Amino acid sequence: MIVTMLTKRPPLLLVLGAVASCLYGGSVAAEDNTASIFDDLTVERYGSIKATVDYFPRDAAYQDQDDVMAISEVMPVMIITGDSAEMVIEPRVVTPKHGHGFVDLKDGFITTTWGEMDLLVGATTEFWGKNEAANLVDIINTKDYTMGLQSGEKQGMPMVRLGQAMGPGYLDLYVMPIFIENRYAGAQSRMRPNLPYRPGVSRYQIGTDPDDVATAIRYSGYSGDIDYGISAFQGITRDPGVIIDGGNLLPLYHEITQYGVDLQWTTGETIYKTEMIQRYDQLNQSGIAEDYTAGIAGFEHTLYGVMDSNGDLAVFGEYAKDSRGDDAASGLQNDLFFGGILSMNDVDDTQYRVIIGYDLDEASRSITAEYSRRLTTGVTLEASVYHPDQMSKDTHFFSFDRDTRLHTAIKYSW
């Protein structure tokens, strides 16, 4: 499949070749992925390849939808470390079954210390949050929804980030001058809205310019058993509204402001976590700008050495609420999640995960069961089943009703 994808898309080959020659060309003698170019610089190169196939056994709900979605990702990494600075380049080269292949620069930055501050310039991905079912405060990066709206992969966001320890915690300042849009899949994709997106086309609300600079600030740290984070963001929303245009959906980007808090309390085997946000000027499901509050709270409890084995079982339960109620575009207006993660702690890092989500308003449910392990050195397997139940009743996710999915991914790292 990868071979046919490559041969069908000559431009992709070129891109791959360019990337490959940049990173692997040259006559630098290498042993075990590291080499010394000059006396004070070390280069480290490694990477991974991942092939994913999603099979949808049920008939598609909408025209043009395919039963199979597939993607291959090549993620080479190059890290150049000097005395005072470090450069990390990690592009993600994606070749999907449907649509054009592309390269996303997940990490392409230089970081250094400037006085007492840590400075990062370039594209990178950040994670903010504490919960498992959803991370409301996590707002910095946009997503690549090539494999469907439930499978968003973060895309690198260009920024200048300054960080400094302050008091008991740490203060981070972000300035994001370039906006990278979400990437949506087209009509052939599953797990999409009833009207397909037209890939590559988007709209900006009047008054919103993609060149607008987004800013964010976050203060995070820990104290005893409590880990906390307080954040504020101002910029283009990562959850755009939609415009219908000729049978397609187009994302409508607009400016928002968000304040967020995330907290975790770790006591022995039980962890309590919560995230809360207040967002202004976000377009809701009905297309009207609404200020709202949303939160998610839950617990995670770990049982060690279950069933006389070395495995650990982490059971968790989380509840999400959104003040917009039915108008919440995220669909997390009154939802309950619970599940378990059984880590076998064996040589192959075998893990089983089950998550069940209930929408308490609409009575729709979904279950995801996942299995992952290492097959051999450097090769891992991930397989899962997602099944939506009663989803046709759900005002937000009814389009997924027939999208029962069997997912397999194999990743090779070196």
Strands 312-322 and 289-303: antiparallel
To the nearest whole angstrom, how small is the minimum distance from the Cβ of residue 145 to another protein?
Answer: 17
To the nearest whole angstrom, how small is the minimum distance from the Cβ of residue 227 to another protein?
Answer: 5
To the nearest whole angstrom, how small is the minimum distance from the Cβ of residue 302 to another protein?
Answer: 5
To the nearest whole angstrom, how small is the minimum distance from the Cβ of residue 169 to another protein?
Answer: 9
To the nearest whole angstrom, how small is the minimum distance from the Cβ of residue 185 to another protein?
Answer: 21
Binding residues (CB under 8 A) for another protein: these are 34, 42, 44, 46, 48, 79, 81, 86, 88, 111, 125-127, 129, 163, 165, 170, 220, 222, 225, 227, 264, 266, 268-271, 302, 304-305, 310, 312, 345-347, 349, 374, 377-380, 411, 413-414
To the nearest whole angstrom, how small is the minimum distance from the Cβ of residue 269 to another protein?
Answer: 5
To the nearest whole angstrom, how small is the minimum distance from the Cβ of residue 314 to another protein?
Answer: 9
- Quick one: 21 or 270, whose CB is closer to another protein? 270
Q: At 199, give phi and psi (nearest 5°).
A: -60, 140
To the nearest whole angstrom, how small is the minimum distance from the Cβ of residue 249 to another protein?
Answer: 28
To the nearest whole angstrom, how small is the minimum distance from the Cβ of residue 134 to another protein?
Answer: 14
Three-class SS string for the chain?
CHHHHHHHCHHHHHHHHHHHHHHHCCCCCCECCEEECCCCCEEEEEEEEEEEEEECCCCCCCCCCCCEEEEEEEEEEEEEECCCEEEEEEEEEEEECCCCCEEEEEEEEEEEEECCEEEEEEEECCCCCCCCCCCCCCCCCCEEECCCCCCCEECCEEEEEEEEEECCEEEEEEEECCCCCCEECCCCCCCCCCCCECCCCCEECCCCCCCCCEEEEEEEEEECCEEEEEEEEEEECCCCEEEEECCEEEEEECEEEEEEEEEEEEECCEEEEEEEEEEEEEECCCCCEEEEEEEEEEEEEEECCHHHCCCEEEEEEEEEEECCHHHCCCCCCEEEEEEEEEECCCCCCCEEEEEEEEECCCCEEEEEEEEEEEEECCEEEEEEEEEEECHHHCCCCHHHCCCCEEEEEEEEEC
In angstroms, the CA 158 to CA 107 distance is 9
- Token pair belonging to 278: 């207040």
